Homo-oligomer: A and B are copies of this chain.
């Protein structure tokens, strides 16, 4: 099993602000995919739809200001059954986001792509919270021939 890991620090925002951006349809559609629908409560399923495809995430855990955990229940074959976790903490003026997309079976080329793409979306989350405007799909940063 291999994992994608990232860390960002969001200035001018509390862990509760970041948590809201991860647990409301308005927040999620402001940095990841504008076409986001579903139920963000524990046990609910959130549907994210992008230009190249989509993912359905089941909310496994949601602790205000601290942690969000999703399981991928539909999407590309390599994603199904993997987990996406968000751990939030405060460090001075920053909210630190530790991110993991865990449980990939193999370090395939698509995983390399998703690792870079996740970084751009995390920076979109940071930008949304710091400036009020993120870069969600379909206005996201193109990183390659794979979008």
Contacts and interface: CB of A to CB of B under 8 A. Distances in A.
Interface residues of A, number: 33
Given A98-B109, A109-B98, A6 B115 contact: yes
Interface stretch (A13-21, A52-60, A68-76, A117-125): A117-125
Interface in A1-45: 2-9
Interface in A107-147: 107, 109, 111-113, 115-116, 119-120, 122-123, 126, 141, 143-146
Interface string A89-120: 00111101011100000010101110110011
A11 to B, nearest CB: 8
Contacts of A99: 112
